[in-house]
A and B are shown apart, each in its own frame.
Chain A
Amino acid sequence: MQLTNRSKVVVKKEMSFVEKLYLPAIFSGLAITIKHLFRKKATLRYPEVTREFAPVYRGMHVLKRDEQGRENCTACGLCAVACPAEAITMDAAERNKGEENLYREEKYAAKYEINMLRCIYCGLCEEACPKDAIYLTDRIVHSEYTRGKFVFGKDVLVEKVDERIDISKRKKSYKID
């Protein structure tokens, strides 16, 4: 059965005189390589230019805040249960009086850690989250020198109030509020 019309039947026949000269073949080869000289290059100058990510790209996590800058996470632990790599750990704490501007509900995560070396970036934590708190973003986890530094705490994961992380692309993809 013929799948494509690019296949060539190999025949072991005597080469003709022109073929034996090899020069036409060499010149057509040279023509092919010189064409590549003017092609668009596949390389990206990486740190200066970054490749565009697909909308479904799953990179470093972010812990979202709501419009008033309060943390969404209530430390319910569903993400930790859903995590197949057991990368997520957290400690829950009760919200005190006067902290209403910091945490949206009465319970919050005092400690929230993701081990980025364990994480397989499957996105199940994001699916499990009932509070819109955790999302995977298109940011890349940068390299470190020690394993310990790959355990990201709240200081890295929670988005800054004045520096919101855009997750609109992922929200649209399959999460329906």
Chain B
Amino acid sequence: MSVLLFKVILIVLIFLISLGLAAYATYGERKVAAFLQDRIGPDRAGPFGLLQPIADGVKMFLKEEIIPTVSDKFLFILGPSLFMVTALMTSAVIPWGTPMEFGGVSYPLQVADINIGILYVLGVVSLGIYGIMLGGWSSNNKYALLGAIRASSQMISYELAMGMSVIAVLLMTDGSLSLNVIVEGQKGLNWNVFYQPVAALIFIITAFAECNRTPFDLPESESELIGGYHTEYSSMKLGLYLFAEYVNMFISSAVISSLFFGGYNFPGLEYLQTVLPTNLVSLISFGVFFGKILFFIFFFMWVRWTIPRFRYDQLMRLGWQVLMPLAIINVLITGAVITFFGN
């Protein structure tokens, strides 16, 4: 099998998994919400309501498509498309498992092992704000614009703390930005979260903010901004926005688990590699990684139904006056410890 063929298969698989998981995350969100509130949740479409995402998708497609006459048509359509594309693009640098082997050749389970992996993730994620910004601005609606402005200022404020918290991790992996190297440096239970709990905490909090999830869902706070940046959107364009939010959640769960929670590593992986065939171990490691991702997606939902939304000034104070200094201090302390005591 040529490398190209393997990569194409991998890309298509990851694409399908991201979309399928995002679809079922909507179902999961409703179920988790229901269970945390002592309800049952959707259970009419299929057994346990498992066909609900399909019914929702069909509903989204069949709804009337409305483009406001006063809107900038090109940007109005570009907004959700860009948001979705950037959400999907991030998955390229994530190592999904240990390498597979076909005919003596090793194929890494990663679409692109670029040496600036985590930088690429941060870069693409910050591009995603253009999707929200363009959508909100081109709608020609004050609520949408307010939502878009909130989203962009929130993203900019939290990206700094996010980048700073990642630097502390990079210091520990000899400065390599490749996600593959970062994950490989966390063999067994040697996870970064045990060495960098503060960085992990900051990263998780900022990831919540970057995904516009509660308690940071001010851009779409329906009680004050109607729908936020997607107020004017309808039909599948609205669907893309809602859907991309779940893809974002999936990707950030993947990034959180590969940066701080060992990625596909788990205690006993090395032992399994000596006993079981390579490809089977690869699948097992992928399964473990997937389990971690699912846990973090559940965590996202769990927090959503626990904590109420921030006020805007609280959000800004937390970002600039708490997380930023904390992240910088964390980097300084990590640097000092590495300089004086070695790794």
The one of A26, A36, A40, A43 that contacts B307, using a Cβ cutoff of 8 Å? A26
The one of B37, B305, B306 that contacts A26, using a Cβ cutoff of 8 Å? B306
Q: Please choose the segment from B38-46, B102-110, B124-132, B272-280 that sits at the chain A interface, where 4 or more of its residues have CB less than 8 A away.
A: B38-46
CB within 8 Å of A: which B298-325 residues:
302-303, 305-307
**A36-B35, A37-B35 known; A30 vs B302 contact (CB < 8 Å):** yes
Q: Is the interface of A mostly helix, strand, loop or mixed?
A: helix
Q: B306, A41: Cβ atoms under 8 Å? A: no
Q: B37, A36: Cβ atoms under 8 Å? A: yes
Counting chain A residues whose Cβ lies within 8 A of the other chain, the interface size class is 10 to 19
Chain A 33-46 interface mask (CB, 8 Å, partner B; 1/0):
11011011111010
CA A26 – CA B303 in complex, angstroms?
A: 9
Counting chain B residues whose Cβ lies within 8 A of the other chain, the interface size class is 10 to 19
CA A37 – CA B34 in complex, angstroms?
A: 9
The one of B38, B40, B43, B201 that contacts A36, using a Cβ cutoff of 8 Å? B38
CA A41 – CA B43 in complex, angstroms?
A: 13
**A26-B307, A29-B307 known; A34 vs B302 contact (CB < 8 Å):** yes
Q: How far is the CB of A137 from chain B (nearest CB, A)?
A: 28
* Chain A hits for B32, CB < 8 A: 37
CA A128 – CA B34 in complex, angstroms?
A: 47
CB within 8 Å of A: which B12-55 residues:
32, 34-40, 43
CA A45 – CA B44 in complex, angstroms?
A: 9
Q: A30, B306: Cβ atoms under 8 Å? A: yes
Q: A43, B39: Cβ atoms under 8 Å? A: yes
Other A-B pairs beyond A36-B38, A41-B39, 13, CB < 8 Å? A23-B201, A26-B307, A33-B305, A34-B36, A34-B302, A36-B35, A37-B32, A37-B35, A41-B38, A42-B38, A42-B39, A43-B34, A43-B39
By a beta-carbon cutoff of 8 Å, the part of chain A in contact with chain B is 23, 26, 29-30, 32-34, 36-37, 39-43, 45
By a beta-carbon cutoff of 8 Å, the part of chain B in contact with chain A is 32, 34-40, 43, 201, 302-303, 305-307
Listed A/B pairs (9) with beta-carbon separation below 8 Å: A23-B201, A30-B302, A32-B306, A33-B305, A36-B38, A37-B36, A39-B38, A41-B35, A41-B38
